[in-house]
Amino acid sequence: MTSVNAYYDGHSYITEGSLAIKPNQRVIITVLDDFIKPKHKSKRNFKKYIGAITDKDSDIIEKAVEECRKVDLNEW
């Protein structure tokens, strides 16, 4: 038996260490009463879809994407 720390990100359990689990292998999940600070996903994850761009251009695109995701309640 082995153990690893993990947290639930709202969709999946994310392990904080490597663990080799085989298909259909039983596991025990213990839910604790404490919380961790959410880890922000790495920015620029869309870079791989765009190609080689500079960090400056990546920042501009990232800001534009964030702006597009905002909802103006007065428009609805």
pLDDT tens digits for range 17-76: 888 888 899 988 888 888 887 655 555 556 566 667 777 877 788 788 778 877 777 766
Cα(60)–Cα(57) distance, rounded to whole angstroms?
5
User: What are phi and psi for residue 13, nearest 5 degrees?
Assistant: -90, 125
Closest CA to 43 of 70, 60, 62: 62
pLDDT of the residue at 57:
78
Decide: helix, strand or coil at residue 45. Answer: coil
Report pLDDT for 47: 58
| pLDDT score of 41 | 56
* Rounded Cα gap, residues 54 and 42, in angstroms: 16
Q: What is this structure's pTM?
A: 0.42
pLDDT score of 45 = 59
Which residues on adjacent β-strands are paired with residue 15?
6
